[in-house]
Amino acid sequence: MRRPIIAANWKMNMNPGDTTEFLKSFLSLIPGKCPVDVVVAPPFVSLPAAADILKGNINVRLAAQNMSDHDAGAFTGEISAMMLKELYVSHVILGHSERRTLFGERDAFINSKLAKAFESNLKPIFCIGETLAEREGGKVEKVLERQIRKGFKGIEAKQVGETIVAYEPVWAIGTGVTATTEQAQEAHAYCRSVIADLYDMETAAKVRIQYGGSVKPTNMAELISMKDIDGALVGGASLDYRSFYEIVKEGIEQVSSS
């Protein structure tokens, strides 16, 4: 079994004060060594507050929600990988559908960010997923294949194996509509088959694929029980520490029952 990875994507929520409060309460709920990887992704300005609390913690890692594909220079408003690393950041969310649709990020741009993340030793959480129109138009596989092929262009198998892919159907994000476990499992298995095709079976078997889109404490158990679902990327339900902990707990239970 791949080690589950459950990540909180706080989007543009949680200022530094909220972040400190959340993490203090959340950490107190996790006793000992957690058998699943837990990651939190606060907005940039809250990263120092999170780093202060998480430094030295063995259970919770820190992610950024985005990153520049450049090292330094005249890129107003951008944040580099090295800046993130100074703040104890180990993971970075790349290609989130909100970045793709609201901020015009394209596959090639996301590919260059992925390359930069690997070069900088940051672990990418690489988001992919189809829109409702694409699903209704029967284009799910075509879209996922394109996003994976273009996203991983030029990336070596070893790095791909360490990537966390987040399958997030755009129609399920923030809508309260979750993909059925069957729809999610089917998409995850398909993504894995594309990776096997592009690289090899061994690499595909290593990649952890998270599901994202209205994950809640009530649907996590079923999702995480599926063969190709290795965790979750959680938006809305991660803003409350108790609810995020309930989701993490389902991951822990899945590990102990398997």
Catalytic residues: 96, 168
Residue indicated by tokens 């993504």: 191
User: Do residues 201 and 195 make contact, with C-beta atoms less than 8 angstroms apart?
Assistant: no
Asked if residue 173 binds ligand PGA (CB under 6 A), the reply is yes
Number of chain positions touching ligand PGA (CB under 6 A): 13
CA proximity to 184, closest of 161, 204, 212: 212
Asked if residue 235 binds ligand PGA (CB under 6 A), the reply is yes
Asked if residue 220 binds ligand PGA (CB under 6 A), the reply is no
Question: How far, in Å, CA of 214 to CA of 232, rounded?
Answer: 10
In DSSP terms, 5 is beta-bridged to 37, 231
Asked if residue 219 binds ligand PGA (CB under 6 A), the reply is no
Asked if residue 94 binds ligand PGA (CB under 6 A), the reply is no
Asked if residue 234 binds ligand PGA (CB under 6 A), the reply is yes
Exactly one of 169, 236, 247, 251 binds ligand PGA (CB under 6 A); that residue is 236
- Give whichever of 12 and 74 is closer to ligand PGA, judged by the CB atom: 12
In the shown chain, the binding pattern of residues 7 to 26 toward ligand PGA, with x for contact by CB under 6 A and - for none, equals --x-----------------
- Give whichever of 99 and 192 is closer to ligand PGA, judged by the CB atom: 99
Distances (CA, A) of 179 to 176, 186, 215, 219, 223: 10, 10, 9, 10, 9
Beta strands (DSSP E) in 10-122 are 37-41, 60-64, 91-94
- Give whichever of 199 and 251 is closer to ligand PGA, judged by the CB atom: 251
- Give whichever of 11 and 116 is closer to ligand PGA, judged by the CB atom: 11
CB of 235 to ligand PGA, least distance (A): 2
User: Do residues 93 and 43 make contact, with C-beta atoms less than 8 angstroms apart?
Assistant: no
- Give whichever of 1 and 102 is closer to ligand PGA, judged by the CB atom: 102
Asked if residue 168 binds ligand PGA (CB under 6 A), the reply is yes
User: Do residues 62 and 89 make contact, with C-beta atoms less than 8 angstroms apart?
Assistant: yes
Asked if residue 101 binds ligand PGA (CB under 6 A), the reply is no
Beta strands (DSSP E) in the chain are 5-9, 37-41, 60-64, 91-94, 123-128, 164-167, 208-212, 231-234
Residue 6 structure tokens: 């459950």
- Interface residue list for ligand PGA (CB under 6 A): 9, 168, 173-174, 212-215, 233-237
